[in-house]
Amino acid sequence: MRTLLRAVAEPRATRAAYWNEVVAGCLGGLDLRLDDGPDDRDELLIGTVGPLQVAVSRSGPGEATRTAAHARREDPGRYALFVQAEGLTVSEQDGRVARFAPGDIGICDLSRPLHCAYSERRAVMLSYPKALSPLPEHRVADLTGVGIPGSDGTAALVSGLVRQLPEHLDADDGASGARIGTAILDLVNVGLAARLDQERTLPVETRTRALLHRCRGFIESHLADTALTPAAVAAAHHISLRYLHRLFEPTGESVAALIRSRRLDRCRRDLLDPSLQDRPVAAIGARWGLTSPAHFNRVFKLQFGLPPAEYRTVHGAWDGNRLAL
């Protein structure tokens, strides 16, 4: 379930105090100062995904300060990880200062003072109980006030997934939400452990689940590559092909089957995209690594019941909402 709060919903006379209280509710107390006062740029989308509390903040330029007094009055016992989506932020905690550009990741301890100043921006924040972190608190403290580039490796996967979290705020808050939230938290813990050279201290199941998620992320980002095979996935993650197959066994789907089904799903979406209606069917298959027209026709029909050209003819009149299904 998601809740969208807007600053302009409150009368101007009481808006500043109201918006400070709203934003403070996410962090357990703070002082908020906005250069132009709360206006129509300021909104907060909040919800939960499994064990994670998620907040998507849009704001005009300003700064937020959580003091030692705030922390003493209300210690939530939580970490907050945020990903800069738009704009710039400069964050300070534990004597360290970092600058965050879009895609960058930061971690802060809500039990201690912090300060951040930002331009007009959008950021996605997720918070979780410290008890869900397998890393010692004194080691996580080494990463507060540190910018983590979200450009490659596990950090890139975490950055991308966190920015997609708002799409899952309406997910079932039972099993579905738990799976999504746990998957992201596993990757967060592995990513932080890697920065601290502490991966071997993590529980085996956490490392195993995170490796599975990384393999899935690699597959998703390389679907257009004709060289994408189970062997290529294994090599990219420095594991044997046999171990890769064992890793996927509990999912009930082989690596090759996952690659094929994800490619076909991308093809299906392109076939139903009005902006691509003039693109030949064979070109759509080739775009997603299916370079043999005969093979593309055969496997597409097996998965969706019709050859791709016929599927496009039958279903191509769907409206935009159904195209997204």
| Domains of the chain, residue spans | 2-221, 224-325
pLDDT (tens digit, 9 = 90+) per residue, 85-126?
A: 999 999 999 999 999 999 999 999 999 999 999 999 999 999
What is the rounded CA–CA span in Å between residue 74 and residue 95? 22
Q: How confident is residue 308, by pLDDT bands cut at 50, 70 and 90?
A: very high
Q: Give the strand order in the sheet containing 78-86.
A: 2-6, 43-49, 52-59, 121-129, 78-86, 105-109
pLDDT at 325 (0 to 100)? 36
pLDDT at 226 (0 to 100)? 94
Question: pTM to 2 decimals?
Answer: 0.72
pLDDT (tens digit, 9 = 90+) per residue, 216-254?
A: 989 988 999 999 999 999 999 999 999 999 999 988 999
pLDDT (tens digit, 9 = 90+) per residue, 264-296?
A: 999 999 999 999 989 999 999 999 999 999 999
pLDDT at 257 (0 to 100)? 95
224-325, superfamily in CATH?
A: Homeodomain-like (1.10.10.60)
What percent of the chain clears pLDDT 90, i.e. is strictly above it?
66
pLDDT (tens digit, 9 = 90+) per residue, 189-221?
A: 988 998 888 888 888 888 898 899 889 989 988
The yes-or-no verdict on residue 157 having pLDDT over 90 is no
pLDDT (tens digit, 9 = 90+) per residue, 128-146?
A: 999 999 999 999 999 999 9
Q: Does domain 2-221 have CATH number 2.60.120.10?
A: yes
Contact status, residue 49 vs residue 171, Cβ threshold 8 Å: yes
What is the rounded CA–CA span in Å between residue 125 and residue 107? 10
The yes-or-no verdict on residue 16 having pLDDT over 50 is yes
pLDDT at 173 (0 to 100)? 54
